[in-house]
Chains A and B, each alone.
Chain A
Amino acid sequence: MSDTTMTARYVPNRLNNRAHRVLRSWEALLLVVAVGVFVLNSFASPYFLNVWNLSDATYNFTEKGMIAFAMALLIISGEIDLSVASIIALASTAMGLAAQYGAGTPELVMIGLTVGLLCGAFNAFFVTVLGLPSIVVTIGTMSLFRGISYIVLGDGAYGGYPDSFAWFGQGYIYWVFTAEIAIFAVIAVIYGVVLHKTNFGRAVYAIGNNPTGALFSGIRVQRVKFILFLLTGLMSGVAAICLTSRLGSTRPSIAAGMELSVVTMVVLGGINILGGSGSIPGVVIAAFVMGLVTFGLGLLNVPGIVMSIFIGLLLIGVIALPRLWLMIAAKKRSA
C-alpha cells in the first residue's frame, strides 16, 4: 500500500484515488463522530451519563450489530442479503411454535439457530447453485420467509417462553453488562479474526475485488459465498433468539424493516457497498454511533420516525461530504 505513486500513475481518476486515501482512515473519522455524539448527548440531556441508561442504550444496536458482521462479509464479497429481518421473523415464529409445545430453552436455541441456517442455505442455493443475483433472490425470500410467518401466525402472537429463556435478551453477565452486549462482543472478535487474520477472510476480499481473478487463483468462489449466506442466516437466528427473548413474544411483524438498518450500519461502517473493502472495527464503531444517536434523540423525546431522518442524513452525509470536499479541492487546484 506504500506505492502511492504507482496507484497515481495507473489510476487516472484523481477523485477515486484521493477518496480511497480518505476512506482508509474511515474508522478514525467514525470514531470522531461517535465521540462527538457522545459528548453532545451528555450536554443535551442530564439523564444520559448514567451507567444503567448507557447499558440500556446497547439494546438499540446489539441485535442489528450481530447480523451486521455477517452482512459485512457478504457485502465485501459483492453480495447482499435483504431477507435477514424475515429470517428473524421465521426463526422467532418457529421458536414460538415450539414453546407452545413446552420446548425448553436449549431446544428453543437449537431451533432458532437451525431455522436461521436453513434460511441461509435456501438463499445460498439460489445465489450460488443457480447463479442468480442475490439482491433479487433475497427480496423474494424476504417476502417468502415473512409470508410463512404470517401464514402460521395470522393476526396472532406467541408468548409463554420459559423463564430461563429470558436471559438472552434481559439477563446480565456482570453488573451492567447485558448478555446481549457480551454476545455482540464475542461475535465481533470472532468476525474480526476471521476477516482480517485468516485465509478465508482474504478470500472474501479477493472475491469482492475480482471474482474471476479469485476463481483463477484457486479460491472456491461459490463455496465461500455459500458459507457467507449460511453465516448471515445463522446470525439472524442468534438475533432472533435475543430479540424474542427481550420482547417475550413473537408477532409476524417482528423486526420489520431491520434489514435496511443493518445495511445502513454496514455501509456507515465503511464497507464498500460494491464490495472489496471495509473492516470489522468500522462496523463496531458504526453500531455504537447508530445506537448513541437513537438513544440520545430518544432522551430528547424525538419520535422514532424523526430519528430516521438523522440516520438517513448520517448515511448519505458521511459518504457524500468527503467526496464533495475532495471535488472542491480538486477544482481549486485545477483553477
Chain B
Amino acid sequence: MVLRHIPIREAILGAAILVLLGVVSTRYSGFIAPANLANVFNDTAPLIILALGQMVVILTRCIDLSVAANLALTGMVVAMLNVAMPGLPIPVILAIAILLGAVMGAINGLLVWKLAIPPIVVTLGTMTIFRGIIFLISEGKWINAHEMSAAFTGFSRAAFLGLPVLSWIAIVTVIVFGMMMSRTALGRSIFAVGGNPHAAVYTGINVGKTQFLAFVLSGALAGLTGYLWVARYAVAYVDIARGFELEVVAACVIGGISIAGGIGSVGGAVLGALFLGVVKNALPVVNISPFWQLAISGSAILIAVAFNARAGRSQGRVILKSAEGSV
C-alpha cells in the first residue's frame, strides 16, 4: 500500500543520478561540491525548460521537433534587435522572445489542429523552415559578444541568492508547470487528451485545441530559452543548438514520459534532463573523452524505455493478482 504512493520511476531515476554522482565523486571529490553542482544545474537549465514544454506536447500524443530551430531563430532575432537597438530594456526583450516563440509554436499547433497534419510531419517541416529563415535574416553572419550590450548578455548570468538568473528561471518554470499539470483544468485536459482522446471528447474537451495550446506552451518556452541561450553564450549563429531537439525528447523519454501520450510527470522530465546534464558534465571530470557522450545518452535512452515498458507491464500483473486474490 505504501509502495503504491511512491512514484517508482522518479525514485529510481533519482537514485541513478545519486549513484552517478557518487561514482564520479570517487574519482574527483570536487564534483559534488555545492558550487559545482550549482554549475551543473545551470548548464542543464535550458534542457530542463525545453523538456517541460516537450513533455506537455508528448503528453497530448504529439511531438515537437522544431524546438531547437525555434530557440535558434528567436535567439538570432533578439540578438539582432539588441544590435539595432542596444537601449531596449530586458523585460521587453523577454516579452518579444516569449511571444515570438509562442507564435512559432502556434503555427505548429494550428497545422496540427485545423488541418490535422501529423505533428511529426509539421514539426519536421517547420524545423527546416525556421533554420532557413535564420540564415535569410542573418545572411549567415555571426553576432558576437562585443556587438551585444552588457545588459543583454548580463541578464541570464546575474547572480540572485547565489544562483544565476538562468537557474532561477528553470526553477520557476518547474514550479509553474508543476502547478499547471496538477491544479488546473488545462493540465487535466492535457493528460486526458493523451490518455484517451475519444473519451476526452465526450467529457467536453477539445482535443485539437488542447494540442494547439501544448504547442504554444512548448514554443513560448523555446523562445524564452532562445534569448537565455544567446545571452549566456554571448553568440548567435545559424547552427545554434542544432540537433538539440532530440536531446530534449531524450530527456523526456529517460524521464518516463510515454511517447504514446498520457503518462508522465513534471518530476520525471526534470530528472531526465538532470541525468543527461550530469552525464555531460561528469565525462570530462572522470577523464572520459566527450566523444563517449552520444553513445552513453543513447544507451541511457534504450535502458530507460526498456525499463519503463517493463514497469508498465508488471503494474498490470499486480492489479490482476490482487483482483484474483479478492475473489
Contact = CB atoms under 8 A, between A and B. Distances in A.
A and B associate in one complex: yes
Interface of A: 15, 126, 130-133, 135-137, 139-148, 150-151, 154, 252, 256-257, 260, 263-264, 267, 273-274, 303, 305-309, 311-313, 315-316, 319-320, 323-324, 327
A142 B246 contact: yes
B116 A316 contact: no
Contact of B125 (A140, A144, A315, A323): A315
A150 B294 contact: yes
Contacts of B116: 15, 323
Given A146-B294, A260-B124, A323-B117, A308 B131 contact: yes
B139 to A, nearest CB: 9
A125 B121 CA distance: 26
Interface stretch (B43-51, B85-93, B302-310, B316-324): B302-310
Contacts of A305: 131-132, 134-135, 140, 238
A323 B113 CA distance: 12
B249 interface: yes
A277 to B, nearest CB: 13
Nearest to A13: B116
Nearest to A143: B298
B175 interface: no
Contact of A150 (B134, B243, B295): B295
Contact of B246 (A133, A139, A309): A139
Interface string B132-146: 111110001000000
Interface string B283-319: 0000001011111111111100110010000000000
A85 to B, nearest CB: 11
B301 A136 contact: yes
Nearest to A122: B302
B172 interface: no
B253 interface: yes
A26 B190 CA distance: 34
B128 A311 contact: yes
A309 B127 CA distance: 9
Contacts of A257: 243
In the A-B complex, the 8 residue pairs with the smallest Cβ-Cβ separation, listed nearest first, are A147-B295, A144-B298, A143-B298, A147-B294, A309-B132, A140-B301, A312-B128, A312-B129
B305 A140 contact: yes
A53 to B, nearest CB: 24
A312 to B, nearest CB: 4
A132 B135 contact: no
30 contacts: A130-B306, A133-B305, A137-B302, A140-B253, A140-B298, A140-B302, A140-B305, A141-B302, A142-B246, A142-B298, A144-B298, A144-B299, A147-B294, A150-B295, A151-B291, A151-B292, A151-B295, A257-B243, A273-B118, A308-B129, A308-B131, A311-B128, A312-B128, A312-B129, A312-B132, A315-B128, A316-B122, A316-B129, A320-B111, A323-B115
Given A144-B294, A148-B295, A309-B129, A139 B301 contact: yes
Interface string B174-199: 00000000000000000000000000
B52 interface: no
A309 B302 contact: no
Contacts of B250: 139-140, 143
A147 B293 contact: yes
Contacts of B100: none
The residue among B115, B125, B127, B305 with the most chain A CB atoms within 10 A of its own CB is B125
Given A311-B128, A320-B111, A136 B305 contact: yes
Contacts, number: 143
A195 B121 CA distance: 23
Contact of A315 (B124, B134, B289, B301): B124
B128 A144 contact: no
Contacts of A140: 250, 253, 298-302, 305
Nearest to B308: A132
B104 interface: no
B111 to A, nearest CB: 7
B259 A135 contact: yes
Given A141-B298, A144-B295, 12 more contacts: A130-B306, A133-B259, A136-B301, A142-B246, A142-B298, A143-B246, A150-B294, A252-B291, A260-B127, A273-B118, A303-B135, A306-B136
A144 B140 contact: no
B260 interface: yes
Nearest to B129: A312
A135 B117 CA distance: 18
A144 B301 CA distance: 9
B131 A139 contact: no
Contacts of A315: 121, 124-125, 128
B126 interface: yes
Contacts of A146: 294, 298
A132 B305 contact: yes
Contacts of B125: 264, 312-313, 315-316
Contacts of A130: 306, 309
Contacts of A139: 246, 249-250, 253, 301
The residue among B128, B243, B250 with the most chain A CB atoms within 10 A of its own CB is B128
Contacts of A307: 132
A256 B259 CA distance: 24
Contacts of B299: 140, 144
Contacts of A147: 291-298
B298 A150 contact: no
A316 B111 contact: yes
B19 interface: no
A141 B124 CA distance: 19
